[in-house]
Amino acid sequence: MEIDLEAVLNWKRKKWGMFSASLIHHLLISGTADKKTLIKEPFDKGALTYIHQIASQSYIEFNDEEDGAESFSMKEGKRREPISAGHYQRIIGLDNMAYFGGQPEFFKYNEHSGCSPDLVVWKDETSRIASFGAEFKNPKRDTHMDYLIEIKTWEDLKEKCPDYYAQCQFCMMTLRADLWHWVSHHEYYPTKDRLLIIEVPASKKFQDELDVKLSMAIKKKNEFVELLKNR
């Protein structure tokens, strides 16, 4: 699939200074407890680093210099994604699938966050309500093998890959879906093992907890920005 460079640039502009589904898991990790009150800090060091990054993005002009570098694995995953998407579409067998591979889209959850789904089946496209969607992973050979052996249910995914589980849940929150597919694909495995599809149902409890942490992160982000404005 040919990549629309202008569409990719516009996508990067839309998600600039926004909390995104792929990194939202950072916000779920709390810090250490205060020795006197035993009350935990809402965010650990990694979460604060992420919030700091989003705050600095939102304060400055958009640029694609500092945050644009991609690892070899990321580049390979994007190169192989159209193959996995095509295999998935043939297996699922629906005609109304919107695949965003070459033209990524960023859908807002609120004014500070959103998601970039790999594929969506719309229930109501005008209102941005999805029936379900899919998140594709195109890992290295050994990682795909681990997934095949260790991940058989959404509970396994939540335990083994909490970042991917959170990503799926936030996509459902953003597009008001009740189901998401987490997909791992490797084209050189035997046919029966090339595609691993895990159904992830919406979890209101998890989503409510994530919503609270996101609200706290937005408040912290705005505090960082205000410190810069008033220095």
DSSP string, 49-99: HHHHHHHHHHHS---SSSS----HHHHHHHHHHHHHHHHHHHHH--S-EEE
For residue range 183-218, what is the model confidence (pLDDT) as tens digits?
A: 999 999 999 999 999 999 999 999 999 999 999 999
CATH (domain of 212): 3.90.320.10
Give the domain extent around 97. Answer: 5-229
pTM (two decimals): 0.93
Considering the chain, what is the average pLDDT of its residues? Answer: 92
Name residue 33's beta-bridge partners.
40
State the pLDDT at residue 41.
86
Task: Output DSSP code: residue 224.
Answer: H
Q: Residue 156: helix, strand or coil by DSSP?
A: helix
pLDDT higher than threshold 70 for residue 71: no
The sign of the dihedral angle between the CA atoms of 214, 147, 88, 86 is: positive
Question: Residue type at 181?
Answer: H
Query: What average pLDDT score do residues 122-151 get?
Result: 97
pLDDT at position 61 is: 94
Question: Hey, what are 196's tokens?
Answer: 């691993």
Average pLDDT (130-151) is 97
- Higher pLDDT, residue 19 or 42: 19
164 phi, psi to nearest 5 deg = -70, -35
Q: How many domains does the chain divide into?
A: 1
Q: Can you read off the two tokens belonging to residue 215?
A: 């609200």
**Tell me, what's the pLDDT at 73?**
62
The rounded distance, in Å, linking the Cα atoms of 88 and 69 is 28
